[in-house]
Amino acid sequence: MTVTAVEGDVLLDIDSGRWADIRDPPSVHFTVIFNTFVMMTLFNEINARMIHGQRNIFRGIFSNPIFCCIWISTFVAQILIVQVGGVAFSTAPLSLELWFWCILFGASTLLWGQVITSIPTHFLPKNVFS
């Protein structure tokens, strides 16, 4: 019995960029990987606002205008890098459907943050690094 992994290019029905030559134009495949990584980082910034086991990561999110400006400008910059960055950033423009998938995969870090927060830590030693 052979087990094969579902690969992103097959899952999203896009051309694989794995075996592209260095002189080939940027691939949609690697742009999706890059964009998903950035979206995961952006959504993890929301998770990182609450570090002491608080469950409501959105509480007070709009009370910090610096955080909001940085988050929104990073998101807008990412859109520009992907859609018009081209060869300079090694990106290919993405369709609306692929943007949806990247944002969905990125937002999954919000769920993952809740899972991690649910792990009980009371049995761990208090002074591990002292």
* CA neighbor of 89 nearest in space, from 81, 77, 78, 99: 81
Burial class (CB in 10 A: 0-12, 13-18, 19+), 43: buried
**Rounded Cα gap, residues 5 and 111, in angstroms:** 23
What's the DSSP call for residue 26? Answer: P
Q: Are 34 and 91 in contact (CB under 8 A)?
A: yes
Residues 6+ apart with CB under 8 A from 30: 17, 90
Q: Are 82 and 94 in contact (CB under 8 A)?
A: yes
pLDDT digits (tens, 9 = 90+) for 56-89: 888 999 999 999 999 999 999 999 999 999 889 9
pTM, two decimals, is 0.82
* pLDDT score recorded for residue 87: 87
Structure tokens belonging to residue 115: 């899972």
Domain spans, the chain? 9-17+26-106
Query: Is the Cα torsion angle 90, 95, 100, 105 positive or negative in sign?
Result: negative
* pLDDT score recorded for residue 3: 47
